Amino acid sequence: MTTDIFSPLKAGTIDLKNRIVMAPLTRSRADGAGVPQPIAAEYYSQRADAGLIITAATQISYEGMGYVRTPGIHTSAQITAWKGIVDAVHAKGGRISVQLWHVGRIASHLNRPVDAGIVAPSAVKAPGKIFTDANGMVDHDQPHALEINEINGITEQFAQAAKTAIAIGFDGVEVHSANGYLLHQFLSSNVNQRSDQYGGSIENRARFPLEVVKAVADAIGASKVGVRVSPGHTFNGIEENDITSLYGYYLPALDKLGLAYLHVMRPTANGFTEDPVTMARALYKGAIVAAGNYTPEDAAALVASGRVDAVAFGRAFIANPDLVERIRSGAPLNEPEVATFYTPGPKGYIDYPRLVA
Ligand SMILES: Cc1cc2nc3c(=O)[nH]c(=O)nc-3n(C[C@H](O)[C@H](O)[C@H](O)COP(=O)(O)O)c2cc1C
């Protein structure tokens, strides 16, 4: 028997009405202090037909903020705004998890409302530039290597953010361990040059990411927790010189925690020749959500094959608030407008047309 992409899925305690997930998408529509704006409630509730909405990556602290106008979940104004968003999505019958994020070294202090540290496993500056409203493209800031007590503090902030999220009604949280941000920096073989218990061997490089996921699971229950990984993704200057053995250790260790799901992103900047979804399926027995340039046809075939439990769409959800209905009816999809991915305001955010207005 094959599984239909429109059939429900229970991922831990998260009930998805279908297997079409809205991928986490940074849209830079919060204010400078990371407070989501009312248009975000409109944007997410327009997409409440998704089986699960995963929010834009959301900081656990100002130290975890790197880009312009990205949301946080650590001040009272941010938390109040998120509660309004969650309520709006629930009122439309949707499910929503928040992606919890610390950028590590992918940051400019110009994008923050307050002074906060720029940190990484080791003092290795990120290559490339980052956009700021103040000065356009600038170099990433030089990070300092985290002290052990700072590492423990970040773990606690992840757990606190998860507790806050559940208290205001989020259906779950997704820990961001992908795309070159702090957890991925610890997993890497180039940004992590530590010689203590958090660096060197694969067990040591995976220690901090696993401590974070365990702390979040202890805080809210593992059955509400997803984790996003992107094996082989070289984005943000990440190198993993031992992908097979690294994820051969990390993914089974995550599997033992009894999480809601593992979210596997196929790399766009690729340092890996294998398909990470195939690799993950062999190493992880729980539910898997796959993302990364899937067409609706690919997604339906992948879910039907039983190799993954759900598929997340990113750009297609930006451009199609009624993506689920379009896939169901075979209607053409609107094309996303790249120029408005990260611009402030409603244009390119809440004004994509539906099939039926
Ligand atoms: C504008 C934009 C913002 C993104 N922001 C995030 C993010 O906040 N967190 C994350 O894990 N991935 C992020 N991604 C990656 C997407 O979640 C997704 O994996 C990627 O777009 C590939 O899927 P797609 O081909 O369906 O778009 C972003 C992608 C885009 C295009």
Give the model confidence (pLDDT) of 37-69 as tens digits: 999 999 999 999 999 999 999 999 999 999 999
Q: Which helix (H) or strand (E) holds 329?
A: helix 323-329
> Mean pLDDT for the chain?
97
In a domain, 129, yes or no: yes
Which residue has the least CA distance to atom 21 on ligand 1? Answer: 314
Which residue has the least CA distance to atom 30 on ligand 1? Answer: 25
In a domain, 1, yes or no: no
Return the SS3 of 229. Answer: strand
In a domain, 234, yes or no: yes
> CATH number of the domain that 184 lies in?
3.20.20.70
Q: Which of 265, 297, 338, when mutated, tests ligand 1's pocket best, judged by the most ligand atoms within 8 Å of its CB? A: 265
Structural tokens at position 304? 């039907």
In a domain, 353, yes or no: no
Asked whether 181 lines ligand 1 (CB < 6 A), one says: no
In a domain, 347, yes or no: no
- Mean pLDDT of all residues in 169-187: 98
Q: What local confidence, expressed as pLDDT, does residue 274 receive?
A: 82
Rounded (10°) CA dihedral 69, 74, 77, 80: 110
Catalytic residue among 44, 181, 284, 349: 181
Q: Where are the beta strands (DSSP E) in the chain?
A: 9-11, 14-16, 20-22, 52-59, 96-101, 119-120, 129-132, 136-139, 144-145, 172-176, 225-229, 261-265, 288-291, 310-313
Q: With bands split at pLDDT 50, 70 and 90, how would you rate the model's confidence at 269?
A: low
- Mean pLDDT of all residues in 197-223: 98
User: Among the atoms of ligand 1, which is closest to the Cα of residue 268?
Assistant: 22
In a domain, 4, yes or no: no
In a domain, 3, yes or no: no
CA dist 136 to 30, 49, 85, 114, 118, Å?
18, 36, 30, 19, 19
In a domain, 258, yes or no: yes
User: 341-356 pLDDT, tens per residue?
Assistant: 999 999 999 999 999 8
Is this prediction's pTM over 0.95?
A: yes
Domain count, the chain: 1
Answer yes or no: 294 catalytic. Answer: no
Q: What local confidence, expressed as pLDDT, does residue 271 receive?
A: 65
Task: State the helix-helix crossing angle for 76-91 and 38-46, rounded to 10 degrees.
Answer: 30
Q: Which domain holds residue 33?
A: 9-340
101 alpha carbon – ligand 1 mean position (Å) = 14
